[in-house]
Amino acid sequence: MLEFMRNIDNLINTFLMGLGIYGPILGCILILLESIIPILPLFVFITINFLVFGNIIGFIISWIFTVLGCLLSFYLFRKKIKNWFDHKIENNSQFQKIMKMINKIKLEQLTVIIAVPFTPAFMINIAAGLSKMPVKKFLVALLIGKIFLVLFWGFVGTSLIQSLTHPVALIKVIVLLIIAYITSKIVSKKFNFD
C-alpha cells in the first residue's frame, strides 16, 4: 500500500513538473475564473501554485489572483447587473431586507466571512456587487480575508499531496478541514446565511 501511495505521489509530481510554466499560468487564470464560475476547485489551483513556486511565491501569486478574480466578479455585477437588479427588487420587501442587511455588514464581519474556506466566494462577490457596499470596504476585506483562505488551502493541498507518502499529514488535514467546516457553519448561523 505504501508503495502504491509513493507511485501516486511520483505521478502527481511528474505531471506538475511536466506542465512547466504553463501549469502555474493556467492555475492563475483558473483562479481568476473561479470567482465567477463556482464549480472550479480553487484549492487545486492554489495547491499547484504552492507546489510549483514554493510556499512564499505560491502564496503571493494565489492571493493576488484570488483578490483580482473577486474584484472582477464584483465589478461585473456592480456595473452590468446592479441597475437591472435594483429595478426588479424595488417592490420585493424580502430582497430589500436582505440588501439592507448586506449594506450594513461591518468590515470585520465581511473579512471573517471571506476568510472562512467553505464560504462560496462567488456568492459574496455577487451580493457585494449588487449592494451599496463601498468598493474600498470590499477591497480591504478581500485583501485581509483572502490571506487566511489562501494559506489554509495551500497548507491543506500540499499536506494532502504529502499524505500520499506520510499518512500522518492526512490526519492533520482532516482535523483542519473539520475545524474550518465547523467554523464556517458557526459564522453562517451567526450571520443568518443559511
Give the chain's domain count. 1
pLDDT of residue 194: 45
SS3 123: helix
- Distance CA(72)–CA(67), nearest Å, equals 9
Task: Please report where in the chains the cell 451567526 appears, as a residue.
Answer: 190
**Residue 89: what pLDDT?**
75
In angstroms, rounded to a whole number, what is the distance separating the alpha carbons of residues 146 and 162? Answer: 24
- Provide the pLDDT confidence category of residue 72 given band limits of 50, 70 and 90: very high
Q: Could you tell me which of 71, 51, 58, 68 has the C-alpha nearest to residue 129?
A: 71
Share of the chain above pLDDT 90, in %: 12
Collect all residues with Cβ–Cβ distance below 8 Å to 139 and sequence separation of at least 6.
67, 71
- Of 8-22, 81-95, 129-143, minimum mean pLDDT range: 8-22
Residue 163's pLDDT band, with cuts at 50, 70 and 90, is low
Tell me the CA distances in angstroms from 121 to 5, 41, 70, 139, 191, one per residue in order. Answer: 33, 12, 7, 13, 16
Is-above-0.85 flag for pTM?
A: no
Residue with cell 494559506: 151
**Which is more confident, 111 or 22?**
111
Summarised one tens digit per residue, pLDDT across range 116-157 is 777 788 889 988 998 889 998 899 889 988 988 888 888 877
Stronger pLDDT, 23 or 89, i.e. the higher one: 89
The CA-to-CA distance between both ends of the chain, in Å, stands at 41
At residue 82, what is the residue type? K
* pLDDT confidence of residue 40: 73
Distance CA 194, CA 190 (A): 10
Instruction: State yes or no: pLDDT of 47 exceeds 90.
Output: no
Q: Which domain holds residue 51?
A: 2-190
Q: What angle do CA 26, 24, 135 make, to 5 degrees?
A: 75
